[in-house]
Amino acid sequence: MQGKIFRIALAIAAIIVSLAAHRFRFSPRPPEGTTFLEPSPQRSGDPAAGYQYLLYGDFVSSGIPLKLFKRTSGGNSPDDLGRTGDADGIPFRFNVITTAAGAKVVAPTCLTCHAERLNGELVVGLGNNTYDHTNDPSANFKMADVAVKMTFGENAPEWAAYLPASRATKAIGPFIRTQTRGPNPADKIFAALAAHRRADDLRWLDTPQFEIPVETVPTDVPAWWLMKKKNALYYNGLGRGDFARLSSASGMLTLTDSAEARRIDARFPDLMAWIRTIEPPKYPYPVDQNLAAEGKKIFEKNCSKCHGTYGDSVSYPNLLVSLEKIKTDPLLAQAYKTHPEYHTWYNNSWYGQGPHKGQLLPNDGYVAPPLDGIWATAPYLHNASVPTLEDLLDSPRRPVFWKRIFENTEANYDKEKVGWKYSVETSKTDVDTYDTTLPGYGNVGHKFGDRLSAEERKAVIEYLKTL
């Protein structure tokens, strides 16, 4: 039992999907093969209140009883966030909430997916790129059910507070496994939860109302600091309308009904306001400034039309690049057209109604993202299939099978290639090996760097360190 409850709590936490953004304008004439993504009105909020909600909020309202969590988690964790009260000593990926009935539970938070350690420091807003989603997170819940019942009894408020998380995780867990460690099953988590919730009042359905897709299409977790520039959420530009409303759907795991969703949604403009204050971490190693200056010229000539400009003259074009032009793995972009029942469900649900509605609008392409802090966000592409910037800009170098050490330390960081050190493998032998031959995991496309000389690519990489 030692450590089991902690792993179960972390498995629940891994189900949370959290998103937000802002918007930038750019050139009125997008390049061929791209489409400008129009901005949408966004609610304003209080950043300070948003940060407190992130640290202590109950946007996920069910989890492991605090007493049981502390007993089985192996002791206090480092105080990464400086929290006080019951949350002091709780891992940063969880909040401690008190239900109306007085039960204290440890519930997953946005930082399950949207925070990561880098060189020993916790970076809030950096995507979690080390979590292992290859296991079924429901596997240990029968044991957890027994532990909670034995400790508190089925009539206790702790059991009632635990049950929604257990129920949802056991229902969707078998459907949300990835093929390799690192990538996130966020889209599949949403689909599985939507299948189990009524569209009108969001109440739970024990029997799914439509078939849950078999495939789990992987996605890298984007950095939060990029959101302030974006007009659309998600790699495929699917998320339109009010970003706070879109992001508040992270509560779908455990919410009771649309009344609870409305209460959560009212707090998310504050959280989005705080996210818009985040800046990327600075590259911590030496930079060849002369080479970076040359790289800036090459970048602005060859890359800025899609990825924007940086430094004293900041711009971001907000472009969706067609699959025909970008040629990266198409499965994530095509998923909601292959299974239209899911975006239809969302658009007809409580989330898709009212003056601050969110909308899911499928596209045949991917958003060319801002590149702020790109040095910290390896692996690259929307599915985390390319380990370094050198491999990204020189496509023949990309490994078919590769493996890295999942500790984000300086010893494992490649300062020359910019990304994670890795070994080239001949086949997939374990979950730590990334297999780019699998559907959805391909490392193809985005071959624009191939046009540059080796010297030009080196200069561009040096410049990208400065963003």
pLDDT tens per residue, range 235-257: 999 999 999 999 999 999 999 99
Q: Tell me, what's the pLDDT at 30?
A: 85
CA gap 155, 152 in Å, rounded: 8
Neighbouring CB atoms inside 10 A of 285's CB total 12
Burial readout 144-166 (b: 16 or more C-beta within 10 A, e: otherwise): bbebbeeebeeebbbbbbbebbb
Given a cut of 60, whether residue 141 has pLDDT beyond it is: yes
CA gap 244, 354 in Å, rounded: 13
The percent of residues in the chain predicted with pLDDT above 70, rounded, is: 93
Angle, CA of 394, 399 and 405, to the nearest 5°: 115
Given a cut of 80, whether residue 1 has pLDDT beyond it is: no
For residue 52, the surrounding DSSP H or E stretch is: helix 47-56
Q: Span 8-23, mean pLDDT?
A: 48
Q: What is the pLDDT of residues 368-396, one digit of tens each?
A: 999 999 999 999 999 999 999 999 999 99
DSSP 334-402: HHHHHSHHHHHHHHHSGGG-STT-EEE---SEEE----TTGGGS-SBTTTT-B-BHHHHHSGGG--SEE
Q: Span 13-27, mean pLDDT?
A: 44
Q: Span 422-447, mean pLDDT?
A: 98
Query: Mean pLDDT in the chain?
Result: 93
Binning pLDDT at 50, 70 and 90, where does residue 10 land? low
Q: Tell me, what's the pLDDT at 2?
A: 53
Q: Tell me, what's the pLDDT at 19?
A: 33
Residues belonging to the chain = 467
Q: Tell me, what's the pLDDT at 13?
A: 58
Q: Span 343-353, mean pLDDT?
A: 97
Contacts of 35 (CB under 8 A, 6+ apart): 319, 320, 322, 363, 365
CA gap 59, 452 in Å, rounded: 47
Lowest-pLDDT range of 12-21, 146-155, 185-194, 348-357: 12-21
Place of tokens 């569209």: 199
Q: Tell me, what's the pLDDT at 142?
A: 78
Q: In Å, what is the CA distance from 195 to each residue of 166, 253, 335, 341?
A: 17, 12, 15, 9
Q: Tell me, what's the pLDDT at 72?
A: 84
Binning pLDDT at 50, 70 and 90, where does residue 426 land? very high
Q: Is 15 strand, coil or helix?
A: coil
Phi-psi region of 348 (alpha: psi -120 to 50; beta: other; left: phi over 0): alpha
Q: What is the pLDDT of residues 291-339, one digit of tens each?
A: 999 999 999 999 999 999 999 889 999 999 999 999 999 999 999 999 9
Given a cut of 60, whether residue 281 has pLDDT beyond it is: yes
Q: What is the pLDDT of residues 26-74, one digit of tens each?
A: 445 888 999 999 999 999 999 999 999 999 999 999 999 999 999 887 5
CA gap 158, 340 in Å, rounded: 38
Q: Is 321 strand, coil or helix?
A: strand
Given a cut of 80, whether residue 282 has pLDDT beyond it is: yes
Q: What is the pLDDT of residues 81-118, one digit of tens each?
A: 999 999 999 999 999 999 999 999 999 999 999 999 99
Q: Tell me, what's the pLDDT at 14?
A: 55
